[in-house]
Structure 1
Amino acid sequence: MNVRILFATTMLAGGLATATMAQEATSIGEVVVTAQKRAENVQEVPISMEVVSAQTIEDFHSDTFRQLSVPNVNVGNIGGNDVIYIRGFGSPSQNYSFDQAVSLYVDGVYAGRSRQFMAPFFDLQRVEVLRGPQGALFGKNTAAGAISIISAMPTREFEGSVTGVYNFDEKGPGAWGYVSGPITDSLGIRLAAKLLDKDGYVENLGQNGRDEVTNKQALVRGILRYEPNDVFDYTGKVEYSQAIQLGNATVAGPVTGGQQPKLTRFTTDGPLGEAGFDTFSWNVAGTGNLQVGDLTLVSVSGFSWFKAKHVNDFDQTNPAGGVFPHTVSNNYPERFQQWSQEFRLQSPGGERLDWIVGAYYDNQQYMVDQYNHYGIAGLGQFTMYSHFKQQAESWSVFGQGTFNVSEELRLLGSLRYSHTSKRGDFTTKSLRGPFPFRPITSARDNISEGNVDPSITVQYDVAPRIMVYATYGQGSKSGGFVSNTYGTTNATFTFKPEKSENFEAGVKSTLADGRLVLNAAVYKTSFEDLQVSTYNSNVQSYIVGNAAEASSTGIEGSAVWNPIRNLTVTANGAYQDVKYDDYPGAQCLATQPISECNPTVPASVAANNLKGYPLPNISKWSGTLRVQYVAELPNGLNLTTMLAANGRSKHFNSDDQSIEYGLQEGYTKLDGRIELAPADGPWHVALVGTNLTDEITTSGSFRLPAPIAPVTRALYWVEPGRNVAIEAGVKF
């Protein structure tokens, strides 16, 4: 099922709904967001954004960003790190020390590394996805966009819930729940926990048919809210998470004939340990609000720590009559620590001039080791080791003002200055070898840089509940160091910051007596000194640096429609055209003829320019459709039926953009849910299915060359197939 069928289904759903318009319809409720650090109706915020409710996330058991399903937002994975792309831009996963171009904020605290929050979609209010540079109020490395996750808060009345689920295809249970309520008149508490124990979806024939990747998660979160009066309140949060996964989702395939992923692999435990992921993290946050006359002083404090280990054993395939020696594996132990502090002072709102000013500081320490083992026929066994550590410090000052020219016209301006200092050290050595293909090197450097990110927006209400806007903004992401590429020297150790600018115009409208919401935006986003990491199979290494220029042009639209009572149709779609505008000295692409770029000739590579070529991991089309109908049954019962589809068009997910093994064809995945519950909702039972058509897709690919492998082959990071689960829950 391809992405064109998804858009056809959207039209069909709209037609069926129109045919039954005679029934009474209800208006769509207001969605409140804090994208501009104030509580506002999303329809009044001049930003192209999507809001994913907690209920939407829970309906289909979304555990990771790959299940978020927002158009023009996708997640790539090579080497085990999830990387978020918005409008075609993100920081590749292969260089572990990259700051991300799409920043994650959890309850206002910056999280630049995916392992800080291994289970972010749990017991939430909502997720806000902001497309395009967010240079002022979300100013820490938001060159491409930002994602803000808001946890559920303590309630004024005692309540709680427990939900259990059993997964039939991934074979395992899960449970989550919370209790919330007042301790005293001024102190409230919320305690939440989640446990997950699922088998995987890839059968490892070298591990007695073990299903991989198994997924064991435990998460506990406690939130206290102290509100003694109308002048002061403080909310503190402590969260611990543990994620243990056995096995890898990498499978082998041929290097010709297109992608041919399968759900079987063959590996045995190698000299670097059992394949899988272990991650342990602590996150602490505190937010205080103090009224100072008519003004509000806001303090957001954060501490984040994680320890992780990631072992890859690449699929060797199961040979006839024997077992290949364990030839390729790697191991990446990581440690990370961050503390941050932000202060904001803001006006009360609703005045001629509304404003926010603030300052931010954070301090980070990061370390990653790299172990690579190779067993090469005729040459022997080799183990390489590298050690990278980085200390980083950043601070910024920022401000945003809204001048209300009239009731209909508003002018917004913002400015942020950020300063970043980093110190990095990189060393390598041979533990078993010496390895004949990579030299022993070391590197050390310091960087100190400043960036200014302005924005200006014009916002106008052309009619009641119809708003148009136009904006120009800039974003930036700090430079850094190469953390895990053998052969790195002082000359190749440091890469420059990247900068972006965005032109955008949009409309947000609420029509048909509140039963129809239609939003759309057009944009052009350009990057300068785009940070890249590409795999060069000829030297079996990742090349990290800066591309000169790249741009993305596109359109995004969304609709929510309540055509009749109890029926809701939600549709989102996007088109983007993303390409390099100038990229001299780029690695050769598989689609380039030898006469244009010869990967074995350094002079040919140095002269190569990818101007006009697309970026990897980018689909031109993407979209989602969700239809929900609640049937009212006798005895006060409701039967809720949901069908959701998400799809994207074809895209390259290998760095060399190979048509043979690096092109993921377009697809549409279908999810479904049927739920029975009383109208007042104290309990429910549901049957949940994800990827019902069992589309087998990949999130990344590359070519593992000889002699590193006995036979040159493609490797894919394969995504889950169909999963059906039974769910039951109670509320009290």
Structure 2
Amino acid sequence: MRFTKSVLLASTVLGIAVSAAPAIAQDAKDDGAEQSAQTGGLNDIIVTARKRQETAQDVPVAVTAISAEQIINRDVTSVEKITAIAPQFSVGRASNGSGAQLTLRGIGSSSTSIGIEQSVAVVVDGAYYGQGRVIQEGFFDLARVEVLKGPQALFFGKNATAGVISISTADPTDKPEFMIKGGYEFKSQQYRLEGYASMPLTDTLGFRLAARYTKMDGGYYRNEADTINYTELDSATGAFTTHTAEPAKRKAPGEEEFLARATLKWEPTDRLTVNLKGTMDVSTVNNSSWNYVAFRCGNGETSQLNGYACGKDFVSHQNNMPADIAANYPYAKKDGSLYNKYRSAGGTLNVTYDADLLQVSSVTNYQWNNNRWACACDFQSAGSENGIGPTWATENSSWKAFSQELRALTQFDGPFNMMVGMLYQKTQRDFDQFVLTGGVSNSAAPDGFQYVTTAKNSFTKGETMAVFGQATYKILSNLELAAGVRYSDETKNSFFTQPYNNPLLTSVFRDQNDPDGLGEVTARQHFQNWSPEATLTWKVTPDLMVYGAFKTAYKSGGFSNGGINSKLSSDPSADLTFDPEKAQGFELGFKSTVLSNQLRFNVTAFNYKYSNLQVDFFNSPIFAFQTLTADARTKGVEVEWQFAPNGIPGFDIHGSINYDKARYTDFPLAPCFAGQTPGEGCNLSGNSRQDLSGEQLSVAPKWTGNLGINYEVSIGSANKLGLNIDSKYSASYLASGFGNPLSRQSKYVTIDAGIRFGAEDDNWQLALIGKNLTNQFYVTGVVDGPSTGGGTGTVGGLKADQLGFGTLPRTVMVEVTKRF
């Protein structure tokens, strides 16, 4: 709590300073800008939160802007690493399902369903990426990152109910520029080689090619599993066979990745800009669930699966699929080793025509990705000596999307302006999964299916049409009202079947030939929505802005392609489909830049209500995944500040403190967590439900904050030295969305630091970058350990082991950069 008190004290002092702002805001403004350039002061960061270039201080949106310099100095190379700079943002890396749980201000989407679009959307160069598996993408050669908090309805592709992570990649330069960077990270034994070439091809055409290659000889986590043996029963012959599963790779994830991006920027006139970007990414890791850790056990000290000690450490226990099984198993490696292979490609075309009175812009995007993996899907392998057969699975899923967005923005000199636009998007997901539960086989099965317990085949085809508009009116020269609305019309056509089930499991799983006629599930879903918003902005002085906003947002319902068609369920269509999620509420804030451009101090208060918040869970009594909906509310206050004294050029101290109360407001028939007893509240609707109304949402700490220092100083006439130290604080939170007390993550502090030495003109640089230097283990999501826990709703209930999505341990990287 020392960290929290320090930030609170700093905020109080700064609040006193801001109270004097009207008296000092205008002190020699023009002279101050020139002085700042020479002796220090704040630098503006340009953002595009409203699809126009504005400074972060001028836009009436709660936004954390990360500059290109910060991205380089803090080594922001993935969506996950943004969380160190934006403490209210959390990313949980999952092995299957959607692949991620992105959470902002306590609102996020479950990781267990691949069909759920994220409440926190990722937007790259103006194109919407709403799928959780975007976390697999590496990001590099960036111009800026913007974290926009709260519902966003008008400016970023489809709606985002919790916020947007907007990523802008670098464009060609007007002069030839070449860079090569080499790095080595000691913990994972990772080599990194990165570079770009940027140049004008003609007076109007520029080109930029950037690429990065990384290879790990080691990893971040240790796999301490032993060899296991288990016995399976052949359903066709009744014979028993023993199989041996060797430990998976000892060091994970052992990643190898190659990324490339090519950019062409054409500016034939000062009015027309055409920007075309093509990207590709290929990455492999040696274990799709490499960061799953049994950090707390339901029965005390040891795992119910394998008897290993549970603990908060960067350790897992997972085994490869037996090689004799893997040799003829769909999408398995022949030696049975675990893996995840992700491939993606995409192209984005941005066209802007800027006339005197009208700006017309277009964003055309095509994206494709394919993800294949083999996982030890009990996540902590067990042998049959414990009475529990191990579980493996393989998956092959693809996603492709085409979108076209057009918008027109007037640029009248008068008080009235407007923006109108439209979006069209067409998508398709194809999904195949093959599950092996150790203990059964079928020698009479079709080729390749002898050891498959159940197979899944599914697809969803989607089509979205949206129109949107906003009108702005200057009531006074310094008082502006903006109001807008988006209308969305979406259809999703889906199909799901289990084409094969082992005969011993036909009492549990329906297949496509099931006699009750429910073996094939189809769904045609149609969603329509109006999302209005309005913002009133008052520019009190050139350096002080106050704003208030009413916002709504919407995220469509969908179809859980990776679900289960269970014979214990009477309505598989209801299990696999879910309703739209909606947000509505208010935001009030002010942004100030005072003390002759030395102090930036911003405060935001917010209160948003969410209806039909999409919550996915595994319903063990009917052996089916279900996506339920609940009502929730998130409300709080955010304070962020930055002080860059004029007398110390290159120095700034910055920080934030955030209070957020994120709770279910209406979830009366929520699922019980595994092993929950009647005394713990599992006593509704036949002892399988609890009332979570008023309880904390998943990964929703009440207090978060950060505090950091940057300093860069010239050494001699040709060199400079840079230093940054940054800390992040989080209060405790539940990693489970169902109130499981074992999932509680205690409060923690992480510290990042970096030191840089190089040429004054950035011709070369040597850097040392450390992250999570406290080596703090914490989880950003959780699942119940499969085949653990039991007796839910009874006095003898035993809680399941909690398997958390662990984050990275301490890492230290050395980098050498050379520019030409």
Structure-2-length-normalised TM-score = 0.82
Match of 2:587 in 1: 504
Distance 2:375 2:87 in 1: 30
Distance 1:717 1:438, change over 3 A: farther
Amino acid at match of 1:579: R
Distance 1:620 1:540, change over 3 A: farther
Distance 2:352 2:198 in 1: 21
Conserved? CA contact 1:224–1:235, under 8 Å:
yes
Alignment partner of 1:426 is 2:496? yes
Distance 2:182 2:582 in 1: 45
Conserved? CA contact 2:161–2:553, under 8 Å:
yes
Alignment partner of 1:723 is 2:811? yes
Alignment partner of 1:453 is 2:531? yes
Deviation of 1:93 (Å): 1.2
Q: How does 1:369-408 map to 2 (within 5 A)?
A: 369-376=432-439, 383-408=453-478
Match of 2:609 in 1: 526
Q: How does 1:157-176 map to 2 (within 5 A)?
A: 157-176=175-194
Distance 2:804 2:456 in 1: 25
Deviation of 1:595 (Å): 4.4
Q: How does 1:110-259 map to 2 (within 5 A)?
A: 110-116=128-134, 118-138=136-156, 140-198=158-216, 199-206=218-225, 207=247, 210-247=250-287, 248-253=290-295, 254-256=297-299
* Of 5, 8, 24, the match for 2:6: 8
Deviation of 1:693 (Å): 1.2
Distance 1:565 1:174, change over 3 A: same
Amino acid at match of 2:584: E
Q: Percent identity?
A: 27
Alignment partner of 1:353 is 2:431? no
Distance 1:171 1:322, change over 3 A: farther
Amino acid at match of 1:251: V
Distance 1:117 1:76 in 2: 9
Distance 1:292 1:8, change over 3 A: closer
Deviation of 1:26 (Å): 1.8
Distance 1:310 1:382, change over 3 A: closer
Deviation of 1:400 (Å): 1.1
Which stretch of the first structure deviates more once superposed, 86-95 or 60-69? 60-69
Q: How does 1:207-356 map to 2 (within 5 A)?
A: 207=247, 210-247=250-287, 248-253=290-295, 254-256=297-299, 260-270=311-321, 271=326, 272=332, 273-292=336-355, 294-314=357-377, 327-348=390-411, 351-356=414-419
Counterpart secondary structure, 1:57: helix
Amino acid at match of 1:666: K
Deviation of 1:492 (Å): 2.6
Alignment partner of 1:691 is 2:780? no
1:429-470 Cα distance to aligned partner (Å, 9 max, x none): 444353377321431110112100101111112223100011
Distance 1:257 1:190 in 2: 56
Match of 2:784 in 1: 703
Conserved? CA contact 1:597–1:605, under 8 Å:
no
Distance 1:712 1:559 in 2: 43
Distance 2:383 2:525 in 1: 53
Q: CA RMSD in A?
A: 3.1
Amino acid at match of 2:64: E
Distance 2:11 2:219 in 1: 34
Deviation of 1:78 (Å): 3.8
Which stretch of the first structure deviates more once superposed, 50-59 or 670-679? 50-59
* Of 672, 689, 692, the match for 1:588: 672
Distance 1:361 1:47, change over 3 A: same
Match of 1:629 in 2: 711
Match of 1:577 in 2: 661
* Of 637, 640, 653, the match for 1:558: 640
Distance 2:74 2:6 in 1: 23
Counterpart secondary structure, 1:513: coil
Amino acid at match of 1:714: Q
1:541-589 Cα distance to aligned partner (Å, 9 max, x none): 5321212x11001111111111332211121221100111111321014
Counterpart secondary structure, 1:141: coil
Conserved? CA contact 2:127–2:156, under 8 Å:
no
Which stretch of the first structure deviates more once superposed, 638-647 or 538-547? 538-547
Counterpart secondary structure, 2:69: helix
Distance 1:521 1:385, change over 3 A: same
Deviation of 1:421 (Å): 0.6
* Of 58, 68, 73, the match for 1:44: 58
1:349-408 Cα distance to aligned partner (Å, 9 max, x none): 654112211111010011122222222599997622111200000011111121112221
Distance 1:186 1:556, change over 3 A: same
Conserved? CA contact 2:80–2:135, under 8 Å:
no
Which stretch of the first structure deviates more once superposed, 471-480 or 351-360? 351-360
Distance 1:321 1:135 in 2: 52
Distance 1:670 1:327, change over 3 A: same
Counterpart secondary structure, 1:61: coil
* Of 354, 358, 362, the match for 2:425: 362
Match of 1:676 in 2: 757
- Give the aligned length: 721
1:288-319 Cα distance to aligned partner (Å, 9 max, x none): 12245521221110000111113321577699
1:670-726 Cα distance to aligned partner (Å, 9 max, x none): 1111111122221010111111111112223233254799x9643232222111111
Conserved? CA contact 1:559–1:572, under 8 Å:
yes
Distance 1:42 1:520 in 2: 13
Conserved? CA contact 1:340–1:360, under 8 Å:
yes
Match of 2:88 in 1: 72
Distance 1:255 1:117 in 2: 30
Conserved? CA contact 2:577–2:627, under 8 Å:
no
Counterpart secondary structure, 1:169: coil
Gapped runs of 5+ residues in structure 2?
A: 17-35, 226-246, 302-309, 327-331, 443-449, 511-518, 567-571, 791-798
Distance 2:251 2:503 in 1: 33
Counterpart secondary structure, 1:67: helix
Conserved? CA contact 1:316–1:324, under 8 Å:
no
Conserved? CA contact 1:116–1:281, under 8 Å:
no
Amino acid at match of 2:298: V
1:188-239 Cα distance to aligned partner (Å, 9 max, x none): 0011001111231112234486210111110110000111112322111111
1:253-307 Cα distance to aligned partner (Å, 9 max, x none): 5225597233333332114543231111111010112245521221110000111
Distance 2:389 2:732 in 1: 34
Deviation of 1:28 (Å): 0.7
Distance 1:262 1:503, change over 3 A: same
Amino acid at match of 1:676: F
* Of 675, 679, 686, the match for 1:603: 686
Distance 1:594 1:291, change over 3 A: same
Match of 2:795 in 1: none
Asked which structure has the greater CA Rg, the reply is 2
Deviation of 1:503 (Å): 0.4
Gapped runs of 5+ residues in structure 1?
A: none
Distance 1:352 1:78, change over 3 A: same
Amino acid at match of 1:583: F
Distance 2:320 2:680 in 1: 42
Match of 1:542 in 2: 625
